[in-house]
Structures are given as structure tokens and as C-alpha cells.
Amino acid sequence: MATFAYVGRSKSGAVKKGELVAKSRDEAVDQLRKQSVVVTSLEEKGSKEGFKLSFGNGMTEKDLVVFTRQFGTMINAGLPLIQCLEILSTQSENAALRKAVGEIKGSVEGGSTFSDALRRHPKIFDDLYCNMVNAGEVGGLLDTILGRLSKHIEKAMKLKSQIKSAMVYPAAICGIAAIVITVLMIWVIPVFEKMFKEMSGGKMALPGPTQLVIDMSNFAQGNWYIILGAIVGGVIAFKKYYATPQGRLMVDKIVLKLPVFGDLIRKASVAKFTRTLGTLITSGVPLLEALSICAKTAGNKVIENVLMDARVSISGGKTISEPLAKSEAFPKMVTHMIAVGESTGALDNMLGKIADFYEDEVDAAVTNLTALLEPMMMVFLGVTVGFIVIAMYLPIFTMASAIG
């Protein structure tokens, strides 16, 4: 028997914390589920490994997509579950996945259900995956569910890739600008300063821009360790602040209000939420549990809080659209379409249409953002470097004019 510390949420959305004694992690989760507590964190006392929804040991989403698609194809072809797992445990290219599938096969042979066996590997198979598989087992539609899962993961990968591509370009330009300016400040400008002193005997009054650049260069050379320490300290302080609930909520609020980028992130969050919720509902996962999963995978604390409020609203007999409409996190069109889907009984189809629309919106926003940022970043880089170069050549022009 082991003691587990848990954090979860009740049906009303209230946070529950405590400890319980169980033989295994799975048994602890089952105990909490019987108490109507949705687990968000489960850690064995004395163990540093928590119940985290993340990939480890080099596992990628692409590996998971290939595994899910192959598994669904074999199940559809009529192969027994154990045989499918046997084949996949030997042919998977990822060592972590091969090991996990081998252990899952052993658990299933020992009498465990497939979904319960998956839950023993939370670093690879998250709550969304396990709940959908469980719904497929109960409904006898495991091959169909696995097909939906592979498509869902592929769409999530595409959405994440679009967001990354929007962030990579400005980050790369800023990085290049920082490197160029650092090289100029530390190695190039001191050469010019020495040359000016030798040419004028130290008596020549330098132009204002030139003197400013030289002073900045001298400060950077004499205090580089302070600047570097300030940058490192700022990054560490930001990470610690963001790790707190209040810090994450504040930062996520600011992110959603950023010009251009805030709108892009909002559209991506809406697309992810509607796609995930639609997939879960279509697969037969209960709505309250589906909303809890969507909240945990939202990626933004503001969106997460709104979804947990919606969960509480539904448990009180209200609709999903009401708390979403009160929040500024979701566009009015989204809440109206969800309300129509609820009233017509076609919520899953409506969520799919919203997700399709906003995925296209994200694609268009990324294209527009790249087109907008390219000239802006080039102008920024050109003006910054150009100012430094011109400032360094101003004394030369002055001396040439005096000689003339």
C-alpha cells in the first residue's frame, strides 16, 4: 500500500486536496472517481514524479499519431487486441513507446481493460486519449474512435505548428539584431574610438550620436556581467512568477490583449477548445468530463477558468453558452453558434464547424502576420544598425570637411 497526495475538482468545480492510501496509482484514481473527483494531480508521497500530461523520453506527437492510426487499422481489420499490441510493441521506432506498449499488453493479458492499461502511462497517453478509448471500448467502436483520435492529434499538431511559425520569424530577426548590435558594440566601435583619439590627439569634440554610441559601447564592455545577470535573473523571476496561479492568470490575460499576437492566440485557443470538445462529445465522453479535459489542455489560464465556470454552470442545469457569453475570452459568434448547437441537439457538429472556421482563421492570420512583420522587422534592423554605422562615420565626414 502507498500514500498518494491528490489535487482535483468536484462536480461543482471546487478544488479538492488531500491524501489517500491505495495499492497503486490506478486504484487511487478509481477511488477518487467514485467520489466524483476529477484528478488534476496525483503524486505518491516520497516520489518526485507527478501525474503530468506530457510526453517524455523523446516521445513525439508524430509517433503517437502513427501508433494510433496503425492500431485503428489493425482493429478494423479484425485482429485481436492482444495481437495488435504484440505487433506494435515490436515494430514501433520509438523505444519509449515500444516499452509502454509491451507493458500495456501485459496489463491487458492480466485482465485490465485497454483504457485502464493506457492510464498507467500518463506521460504518453493523456486524459483525452484514455477517455476516448474508454468510450470506444464501451460502445464497441474502438476502431472508429482511434481514427478520430489520430485525426484530432494531427489537427492539433498543425495548429501548434502554425503558432510556432508565427513566433519563429520575429524571434529570429530579434536574435540576429541582438547578435549584430553586440558585435558592433564590443568589437567594432572600440576600434573607431581609438582611431578618432589618435587622429585628433584626444581634442576633437565628437558629434552627439557618435558620443552616445561610444558611451553605450563603454558601458556594455564594462558592465557586461551586470547586463547578462539582469537578463538571466529576469528570465528566472518571470518563470517563477508564471508558475504561480496568480502570475499565470495575469500573464495570460496580458497575452490575450496583445495587438496582433493576442488575436492570433485567441483564435488558436478557440479552435483547440472546439475541436477537442467536439471530438470528445462525438466519441461519447460525458460532457462534464469532456469540459474538464478541455480546461486542462486549454493552454491559457483565462480560457481554463471560463471552461471550469461552464462546467459548474452545466452541473447546475444551465447551458455551456451562458458562461462563455459572459466572458470576453470567446468571440460572440462562437457563443451564438454553440447556443444554436445546444438548442438543436447538434452541438458536436456545430463545434466541428467552429473549429474548421477558426483553424482557417489561424492559417490566414499567420500568413498576414508574416507579411506584416517581415518589412517591419527589416526596417527595425536596418534603422538600428544604420544609426550605429552613420554615428561612427560622422566624425570622418567632419574631418574631411575641415580638411577641404
In tens, the pLDDT along 92-122 reads 778 888 888 888 988 888 888 898 889 888 8
Measured N-to-C along each axis, helices 127-139 and 142-183 cross at an angle, to the nearest 10 degrees, of 170
Length of the chain: 404
Residues 72/77/78/79 CA torsion (nearest 10 deg) = -70
DSSP class of 17: E
DSSP string computed for 104-117: HHHHHHTT--HHHH
Measured N-to-C along each axis, helices 142-183 and 261-282 cross at an angle, to the nearest 10 degrees, of 160
User: 61-155 maps to which CATH number?
Assistant: 1.20.81.30
More confident residue, 58 or 88: 88
The residue with cell 554605422 is: 389
The pLDDT, as a whole number, for residue 254 is 92
pTM: predicted TM-score of the whole model, two decimal places: 0.68
Over residues 35-42, mean pLDDT: 73
What's the N-to-C CA distance of the chain in angstroms?
93
Rounded to an integer, what distance in angstroms lies between the CA atom of residue 126 and that of residue 83? 23
Over residues 51-59, mean pLDDT: 46
Domain topology for 170-403: Receptor-associated Protein (1.20.81)
Per-residue pLDDT for 52 more than 60?
no
Over residues 185-205, mean pLDDT: 78
Per-residue pLDDT for 29 more than 80?
no
Of residues 127, 132, 128, the one with CA closest to residue 29: 127
Within the chain, how many helices (H) and strands (E) appear?
17, 3
